[in-house]
Amino acid sequence: MKKVALTLLVASVSLMAADGAALYKKCVTCHGPNAEKKALGKSQVIQGWDAATTEAALNEYKAGTRNVYGMGALMKGQVAQYSEADIKAVSAYIAGLK
């Protein structure tokens, strides 16, 4: 029983990691492979952001209520198709980058 639970846990953790990595692929051009760049010379470097901070920012972009450097509409386009689970997964992935 214990073993089954552990296997399930490991399987779901690795699934999430795979999702986050895949979802982050299209962010790389602007934010860098390790989230180390200022996107288009405008945004903050998001490497080191915890998952909750990134998640909140992405949800605001998706809702169209965030626009820090005049490019909120561009970011809205990036995450418009992302589900709540996608936003969580990509935020968790970014938090693990260094």
Q: State the minimum distance, in angstroms, from the CB of residue 15 to ligand HEC.
A: 19
**Contact predicate 56/65, CB 8 Å:** no
Q: How far apart are CA 75 and CA 55, in angstroms?
A: 13
Nearer to ligand HEC, 21 or 30 (CB): 30
Nearer to ligand HEC, 17 or 30 (CB): 30
Q: State the minimum distance, in angstroms, from the CB of residue 98 to ligand HEC.
A: 16
Residues 6+ apart with CB under 8 A from 75: 58, 61, 66
Q: State the minimum distance, in angstroms, from the CB of residue 45 to ligand HEC.
A: 8
